[in-house]
Amino acid sequence: MSLNFESLVAEYYRPLYQFAFSLTQVEAEACDLTQQTFYIWATKGHQLRDETKVKSWLFTTLHREFLETRRRQTRFPQYELSQVEAELPTLSPARVNQLDSPQVLQSLAQVDQVYQAPVALFYLEDYSYKEIAEILDVPMGTVKSRIARGIAQLHKLLAPPSPTGQPSKDSRG
Amino acid sequence: MDSTQAKEILLLYREGIDRPDDPEFAEALALAKRDPELGDWLQQEQAAQKVLRAKFKEIGVPEGLKEQILSERRVHTNLGFRKKAAFAVAAIALALLLLSIFTTLDLFPNREDKHFSGFRTRMVRTAVGLYPKMDLETSDLSRIHDFLAQRGHGDYALPSPLARTAGTGCKVLTWQGHPVSMVCLNSGGTTPQTKPDLFLFVMNENFVPDPSAANPSEIVQVSTLATLGWKQNGKLYLLGALGTSAREIQNSVAANLKQL
């Protein structure tokens, strides 16, 4: 593999960190995950034969490392989804514009953990669902349902509180 | 497909990323064009998703992260190099040590001369250089004979000049995988009496390809020992003598052998 380590870092450290931060919400953890990913690349990257897969390899590795650290901390349930709730909350662009990036990520952190990585990849990268499925090592149908479910939860969390104190179902502004 | 099902599908549709002609999206998008309410929802949803995507991409990267990754890489590389270098140095040192030990002890059996001369050289080194601990230490030659006989090595004959000396001990050695009896004697000219100055080695003559090289009319100096070899009744003998007194006895042995 003729890829230069420095150019690889220059190209991918930012999106990898953003993905890591969207998963951990903690800067130090995100830095560690990003560094660990490149360290693994430095030691095992030569095993990758297809250079076009470098980016997805890095994201896959980072996600695995994240899962590994979480597995050590606590085992979270892996359950499958049925379908997205019938009534999807609608989120207005104006409402989203009121929020800053940390607030969005704080809301993502409240989404069920199993949905967080698919949703983060959905927003951060222009991957196809097939590629996201490969990165997360789950079937494509599962990825789609997790993203849909995760977006629905995120929308609910981002929607402005209703007068009763609960997030509104329709926050169209 | 109804409006709710279309929303579920269109929630995953990313304009500019996903193909609108994908069969899964195409039908829902077509319905959104026909259904004003669904179309309005889709427009709002796409706009909100676009802003959300931008919010995600606003995640700031800590300053110096890139440099830290690169420096970590260098540290790991250096550590790796240092570990490899340390390992290489240790391996070389170990190899030299082993080579030294094997050379000193002459433990390269396959490379050793398998002829009589090789046997002679090795036995001299054993007697002079190593002088291993004896299996039995005694001055009684009968006890030495019995001890070796019990181990299947008693079929040797001491020439009469040697039979009149005192023993110091015996040991069973191996050479090229073959057993060799080592009988140590004191000529009487050295003190203490427990210190040997005559070393007799006996093994089957067929353990060397050239047993006739053990010529009793020839005394060969090897290191500090004068050596005399002969063969008798299928056995190969090698007698090493250290010092004048021992050499006198050795000469007597050689003289006796000539008469045979």
Nearest beta carbon to residue B48 from set A10, A38, A92: A92
- Residue that is written with structure tokens 């319905």 in the block: B31
Nearest beta carbon to residue B53 from set A5, A123, A147: A123
Task: Provide CB contacts within 8 A for B140, sequence distance 6+.
Answer: B167
Nearest-angstrom CA–CA distance, A171 and A159: 6
Residues of B in contact with A92 (CB under 8 A): 44, 47-48
pLDDT per residue, tens digit, chain A (173 aa), is: 556 888 889 999 999 999 999 888 888 788 888 988 888 888 888 888 788 888 889 999 999 988 887 776 554 444 344 445 545 667 788 888 888 888 888 888 888 888 899 999 998 887 888 889 888 888 888 888 889 888 888 888 888 766 554 554 444 33
Q: What is the pLDDT of residues B210-231, one digit of tens each?
A: 999 999 999 999 888 999 999 9
CA distances from B128 to A55, B156, B179, B181 (A): 71, 23, 19, 16
Confidence band, pLDDT 50/70/90 cuts, at residue B195: confident
| Whole-number pLDDT of residue A89 | 65
Q: Are B128 and B223 in contact (CB under 8 A)?
A: yes
Residues of B in contact with A105 (CB under 8 A): 56, 59
Tell me how many residue pairs between chain A and chain B have CB atoms under 8 A apart.
115
Task: Provide CB contacts within 8 A for B143, sequence distance 6+.
Answer: B136, B167
**Burial of B215 (C-beta count, 10 Å sphere; 0-12/13-18/19+):** middle
A86 to B4: CB separation less than 8 angstroms, yes or no? yes
Q: How far is B87 from chain A (nearest CA, A)?
A: 19
Closest to B192 (Cα-Cα) out of B117, B130, B146, B139:
B139
Q: What is the pLDDT of residues B145-158, one digit of tens each?
A: 999 999 888 899 99
Residues B148-173, mean pLDDT to the nearest whole number: 91
- Residue B64 tokens, joined: 């110096």
B69 to A9: CB separation less than 8 angstroms, yes or no? yes
Amino acid at A164: T
- Residue that is written with structure tokens 């500019």 in the block: B16
Whole-model pTM: value is: 0.50
The average confidence (pLDDT) of chain B is 85
B68 to A147: CB separation less than 8 angstroms, yes or no? no
**Burial of B37 (C-beta count, 10 Å sphere; 0-12/13-18/19+):** exposed
**Burial of B166 (C-beta count, 10 Å sphere; 0-12/13-18/19+):** middle
B51 to A17: CB separation less than 8 angstroms, yes or no? no
Q: Are A159 and A89 in contact (CB under 8 A)?
A: yes
Q: How far is A14 from chain B (nearest CA, A)?
A: 6
